[in-house]
Amino acid sequence: MIANKPIKKRPKNLNLLTIRLPINAVVSIMHRASGVMLFLMLPAVLWVLQQSLASEAQYLTIASGLQHWAFKLILIGLAWAFFHHFFAGIRHLAMDVHWMTSLQKARFSSRVVLGLVGVAVLVFAWCIW
């Protein structure tokens, strides 16, 4: 035990809107959020697959529903979650084997992940629209 050590009173910033996270933290948090989103959407995706395989009429109903703009927006959101989780997962695996361990390389790889996700989602959106 340290005797007579003064306790420093540090300023506390509890406003989450004013905290500026580094890009590495943003990519990591979005990686976790996209994983949760994919996990939570899995039952819905499996249900849609089951309905489409049930009969020809159900398949045609699902196929016509896919043409609606709201469903396409949901698919684009799901594609964002998939692509972000995929590219950020590759980045995390590369960091686990000690590639890109310096701060400069980690920041660069975070920017690359965000760029790849943006391009992949735009290409996906263009293909389905």
Class of domain 23-128: mainly alpha
Task: Determine the pLDDT at residue 11.
Answer: 76
Burial class of residue 15, CB neighbours in 10 A (0-12, 13-18, 19+): exposed
Token pair listed for 125: 């959106």
Tell me the average pLDDT across 70-97: 96
Q: Is the pLDDT of residue 102 over 70?
A: yes
Task: Determine the pLDDT at residue 31.
Answer: 97
pLDDT tens digits, one per residue of 35-78: 999 999 999 999 999 999 999 999 999 999 999 999 999 999 99
